Structure 1
Amino acid sequence: MSYVPPTGLLTVDSIEPAVLVLPGLVTRDEVPRLCEAVRTLLGTTGAGVVVCDVAGLGPPGLTAVDVLARMELAARRAGGRIRLRGPDPALRALLDLVGLRFETCDGSGSHGLPGPVEAERQPEEREPAGRVQEEVEPGDAAL
């Protein structure tokens, strides 16, 4: 059996990801609407990615982190993910502080680091497993 590689450039079917703009401060009441918007955009574009423009988000807080994490969870459950466009350095620092890493992209569409959202965890320090023996006094109530 032989294979002849094609000549010239390969044809690539590129699908432009949809953009969801988060204007101003977001609240927890908006989470269901934003998650539904992410699922809808993933279903209609077929790109597997929704670009979330967070440049107008304002001063970041834990509510913004919660909203972004829930949007990413909704996207993953729908078979996709979100990328952040225009994150404020303070938002990036806050996401880093809580252990979340989001993939970002600049205005030109090039994708940068860090990678997709994931929680960073530190290994737990535990004492070595051993036997614990407790004395039971007659008449002690069972817990």
Structure 2
Amino acid sequence: MGPSLSRGDVPRLCASLAAALDPDEPRPAYCDVVTVTDPDMVTVDALLRLHLTARRRGHRLRFRGAGPDLLSLLSLTGFLSVLALDGADGA
């Protein structure tokens, strides 16, 4: 995901994730969000839909590298506790 995500990108991202996940071998999957520098509600929607796509295929999706702006937006919207985040600020 890059810093300029549009609603039209979300179905393609979800389809790519679904194709990459093997439902017969559930294991954690990771999504690097360190390049998300100006998150908005489209970003939140994309992360939630990716999370749901992984869960439907029997996987747990973890997001890496969330910066303070993304963490703040997720907290404000109440979704911080829903998504699995590993580290922050690119850690």
TM range (shorter): 0.7 to 0.9
Distance 2:3 2:38 in 1: 9
Distance 1:73 1:25 in 2: 21
Aligned residue for 2:52?
73
Instruction: Answer yes or no: is 1:42 the counterpart of 2:21.
Output: yes
Residues 50 and 82 in structure 1, CA contact (< 8 A), matched pair in contact too: yes
Distance 2:28 2:11 in 1: 19
Distance 2:55 2:66 in 1: 20
Instruction: Answer yes or no: is 1:91 the counterpart of 2:47.
Output: no
Residues 38 and 50 in structure 1, CA contact (< 8 A), matched pair in contact too: no
Distance 1:51 1:103 in 2: 10
Structure 1, unmatched stretches of 5+, are: 1-21, 107-143
Using CA pairs below 8 Å that are at least 6 residues apart, which structure has the higher relative contact order? Answer: 2
What is the SS of the residue equivalent to 2:21?
helix
What is the SS of the residue equivalent to 1:76?
helix
What is the SS of the residue equivalent to 2:30?
strand
Distance 2:22 2:32 in 1: 19
Instruction: Answer yes or no: is 1:27 the counterpart of 2:27.
Output: no
Aligned residues: 86
Letter in 1 for 2:86: C
Distance 1:73 1:80 in 2: 9
Where does structure 1 differ by over 4 angstroms across 4 or more consecutive aligned residues?
none
Aligned residue for 2:86?
105
The match for 2:39 among 38, 60, 69 is 60
Please state which structure has a larger fraction of its residues in helix: 2
What is the SS of the residue equivalent to 1:51?
strand
What is the SS of the residue equivalent to 1:52?
strand
Letter in 2 for 1:55: V
Distance 2:58 2:26 in 1: 10
Structure 2, unmatched stretches of 5+, are: none
Letter in 1 for 2:34: A
User: Considering only CA atoms, is the larger Rg found in Structure 1 or Structure 2?
Assistant: 1
The match for 1:82 among 61, 65, 68 is 61
Letter in 2 for 1:23: G
